[in-house]
Structure 1
Amino acid sequence: MTDRSEDAERPTDETPSIAPDALAERLRSADDELTVLDVRDRDEFERWHIAVDGIEAVQIPHVRFVQAEATGGVTDLAADLREPIVAVCGHGEASAHAVGLLRDADVDARNLAGGMDAWADLYAARELDVDAPATVLQYDRPSSGCLAYAIISDGEAAVIDPLRAFADRYVDDVEERGAELRYAVDTHVHADHVSGVRTLESRTGAAAVVPAGARDRGLAFDATTVADGDELRVGDATLTAVATPGHTTESLSIRLGDVLFTGDTLFLEGVGRPDLERGDDGAAAAARRLYESLQEKILARPDETTIAPGHYGDAAESRADGTYAARLETVRDRIAPLSAAEDEDEFVARTTSDLPARPANHERIVAINLGLEDVDEETAFELELGPNNCAVADR
C-alpha cells in the first residue's frame, strides 16, 4: 500500500497545520468548538467527510478561494464560519492554500496535514480497561469508526475483526508484547472494510477464523470455522463464539470472560442494520433474528458485561481514555430499540425504516471478504474509504 503519511510530513509553505491524531483528540472533546472546512468538490464531500456530533462541517470548494483571492473576498467566505477552523482536502495542498488566505484575513485557521488520505491512515491502539484474563488492545480508525481488538495472554494472541490495510500493525504490536499471533478472527462477513484475516494468515501462519455460516454465503477460501459455543484457546484465556445472527445470517459475538466483542450486532449507540445481506426484501426477517439474538444472547447477560463493539458512529461517546466500550446496563438504557417497552414488531419497524445509505462498494467488499474476488492493497484501501453505515443509530 502506498504510504500516504508522506503527505502529512511534506512542508506546505510553513502553513500552520494540525496532525490527524491531534485532530482526532480534539474531535473527541465535547467542549472543544471548531469548524471543519472541507475545500473538496461537493460530490467528494457528500461521499465522505469528517462528521462528529457537535462539530460543524462546512463545504466550500477550493475554486471559490481562488476566486476570492483575485477579488479580495476571502473575509466574506469566512464570515459565517465559527473559529477556530480546520481546513481539509484530499492531500492537504488545496486546503493549505485556503488556510494561508484565511490567516492573511486574520481568521484562526489550520490545515489538516496530509488531508483526508492521512486521516484515513490514522489508526490508534489503546489498552482497554476491562476485567479479563488477558491484555486487550482496541484499535480505532477514526475516519470510519472501525474497531478491532488484539487479545494477548501468556505469549499468544488473537486479533478480532482485523483490517487488511493495517495487518502489519497487529503483527508488530503483538510481537512487541512478546506474543505470537495464533488466530485472526472475523465476527461476520464485513461489508464496509476489507478483512485482514487472510493477510495475517499468510504473513504469520495464524489461523484465519470465520463464522461457520460464511460457507453458506459462498466462502471461497480455506479457513477455520467456528459456531455457537466453540472455543479458541489463547494463552491462559478462552474466546467463546456466541451466535448472534441478524445483521448477517452468520454473525457471531466473541466472549472473553465478562467482555463481549459484539461485532456489528450491537454498538454503543445502535444496533446492526438488517438489510445488507438480503436487501430490503429480507430486512424484516433479519430484524426478527436480530431481536432474538439481542434478547437471548446479549441482553440476558449480566449488567456488568462490557460491550466492545466493532464500530462506533458520530453519536458514540468514548471513555475518558479514548476507548469505546460500555457496561451492558448503560448500553441497554441508552438505545431505544433495546427498551423493555418495545416489543418485537416495534423493533422490526424501527430497525427497517429510514436507514442510511448502504456502505460504499459494500457488495464488492463482501465478495472480496468471501474470497470471490482478489484486489491489490491500493484498490482495497480505496474501496473502503467513507463511513461504515452499518448501524441503525437510535438513542
Structure 2
Amino acid sequence: MERQFPTLGESVQSITAATLKRRLDDGEQWTLLDTRPESAFEEWRITHPNLTAVNVPFTAFLDDNDEPAATVPEGVPDGPLVTCCAKGISSRYVAGFLAREGWDVLAVDDGMEGWARLDELRHVVTGSELDVVQFHRPSSGCLAYLLVSGDEAAVVDPLRAFAGEYVEQARKRGADLRYALDTHVHADHVSGVRAAAAESDAEVVVPTRARERGLDFDARLVADGETLALGETDIDVVWLPGHTTEMTGYRVDDLLLTGDSLFLDSVARPDLEDEDAAVEAAKQLWKTRQRFATLPDKTVIAPGHVGPTTTPGSDGTYTTQLATLRQGLAVFDDDKSAFVERVTANLPPRPNNYEEIIALNLGQESATDDEMFELELGPNNCAVDG
C-alpha cells in the first residue's frame, strides 16, 4: 500500500521526465532533490552533465508523528529545484513542503519510473545507404538499433518496454520488420524480440549457443560467419564471447553492433552467466579483444550500453570508430594477464533482479508487463572499468 502523506494545501507544479531531459540537453542547469532513501539514491539516480543531484530523504520532512517537519531539513539546496523519487509520490509532498516555505520547485511526474519510460532516437550516419536508428534509454543506458534497407528492417537488442515503437519506426520508414535480433541473453533488461515479432511478421533471431543456456522458445539460431539478408544488404554474424558464451555482434559494412562486448569507455564484465567461471570467461573476452584487433580502424562501434558518464559524439549518437577506442581504452594496452585481472577485479554490483530477468529472456519464466518493467528498474552494471 502506498504511503499517505500529510495534506499541505499547496499547489505543486510538475514537469515530465521527457521535458526535463530535453531542457537539460538544451543546456539548462538544474538542481535535483532526490527524496528516496540514501541507499536507493546511491544505487541509481538521474544523471546528466547539466544536473546536480542532492539526496535528502522524504523522512527528513516529517516529524515523529508523520506530520510536516517544523523546519526545512539541512542539506536542501536553494531554489530553483526539481524533486524526484521512485514514483512521484514522496517527491510531490516534499515539493509542496518547500513551495510552502518559499522555494521555487517542480516535481518530476512519476519519478524514476517516468524517467525509465524515456526512449530517445538518434540517426547514425554510416558509409552506406543503410538507415540506422539508435534508441537510447537514459535511465539504464540501454541501446537498441533499427536497421532499414529498402523495404525491410531489423531491430537489434530491442527492449520489451518499447517493442511497439520499433515496429512503428520501421513502418514510418516504409519498411516491414523482418528480424528481431538479440546479441545475447540479457541480464539487465527484458528482451523485446518476441514482443516485437508478435506485433509484426518479424523472425526472432538469437545466437545458437543460447540454446545451451536453456533457451525455451522457438527462434532462428545463428552462428559465427552466417549472414542474414536484409533488403539490399546483408547482416554478418560475428561471435564475440566473454560477457556470455553466446555473445554475438552483427555487422553491416563498416558498422558493428557489439552488444555487450565492447563499449565506448569499457568492456563487458564476465561473471553474469556463471560467477564461478568468470576467469575463464575473461580469457575468452581476451580472445574477443584480439579479434577486434583484426578489424579496420574505420569500423564504427555501436555498443549495447553506455554508462552514466559516457558522452555522445558530435552527431548525438553513442558510436565511435574503433581507432578511437584503441587509443583511448586501457584494455587495448593490456597483455592477457593484465586484461584478465582488470575485468575480474572489483566488479560492480550485479544488475537488479538479474537472475529473474535471465529466466524471462530464456523463456523459462513469464511475467506481466508491469512486473517486467519493475524488474528492470535500476542501473545496468554490465561493464567494467575500461
Normalising to structure 2: TM-score of the pair? 0.91
More deviation, 182-191/92-101: 92-101
Rounded Cα–Cα distance in structure 1 between residues aligned with 2:221 and 2:309 = 34
TM-fit CA distance, 1:115: 1.2
Q: 1:66 to 1:127 in 2, by over 3 A?
A: same
Deviation at 1:171, TM superposition (A): 1.1
Which has the larger displacement, 162-171 or 195-204? 195-204
The answer to whether the 8 A contact 1:34-1:82 is kept is no
Q: Contact between 2:205 and 2:219, CA under 8 Å: does it hold in 1?
A: yes
**Percentage identity across aligned positions?**
45
Contact 1:187 1:263 in 2 (8 A): yes
Instruction: Specify which of 319, 328, 334 is matched with residue 328 of structure 2.
Output: 334
1:364–1:91: structure 2 CA closer, same or farther, 3 Å change rule? closer
Residue 316 of structure 2 aligns with which residue? 322
Distance 1:248 1:111 in 2: 40
TM superposition outliers: structure 1 runs of 4+ over 6 Å:
none
Q: Assess if the C-alpha contact under 8 Å between 2:10 and 2:100 holds in 1.
A: no
Equivalent residue number for residue 280 of structure 2: 285
Deviation, 1:72, is 4.4
Q: How does 1:285-364 map to 2 (within 5 A)?
A: 285-296=280-291, 298-339=292-333, 342-364=334-356
SS at match of 1:271: coil
Shift of 1:82: 6.6
Cα deviation for residue 113 of structure 1 reads: 2.1
| Equivalent residue, structure 1, for 2:169 | 173
Secondary structure of the 1:358 match is coil
Gaps (5+ residues) in structure 2? 1-8
**Corresponding position of 2:21:** 24
Deviations 1:74-114 (A, max 9, x none): 27442xx3754321012223212322333444444322122
Alignment partner of 1:249: what SS?
A: coil
Is the 1:28–1:318 Cα contact (8 Å) retained in structure 2?
A: no
User: 1:74 — aligned with what?
Assistant: 72
Distance, in Å, in 1 between the alignment partners of 2:321 and 2:79 is: 36
Out of 44-53 and 344-353, give the one that drifted further. 44-53
Measure the CA separation in 2 of the matches of 1:185 and 1:83: 46
C-alpha distance in structure 1 between counterparts of 2:224 and 2:133, whole Å: 24
Shift of 1:159: 0.2
Aligned residue pairs, count: 376
Deviation digits for residues 344-369 of structure 1, max 9, x if unmatched?
Answer: 10000011000100111111111111
Q: Does 1:154 align with 2:179?
A: no
Corresponding residue number in structure 2 for 1:365: 357
Match of 2:115 in 1: 119
State the superposition RMSD in angstroms: 2.3
Q: Distance in 1 between matches of 2:48 and 2:227?
A: 37
Tell me which protein shows more helix as a share of its residues: 1
CA–CA separation in structure 1 for the residues paired with 2:177 and 2:70: 59
Cα separation, partners in 2 of 1:100 and 1:204, compared to 1, 3 Å: same
Alpha-carbon separation, structure 1, partners of 2:180 and 2:167: 11
How far apart are residue 314 of structure 1 and its match?
Answer: 1.3
The question of whether the paired residues in 2 share the 8 Å contact of 1:40 and 1:60 is answered with yes
When normalised by structure 1's length, the TM-score is: 0.89
Letter in 2 for 1:304: K
Q: Which residue of 2 aligns with 1:204?
A: 200
- Provide the secondary structure at the position in 2 that maps to 1:331: helix
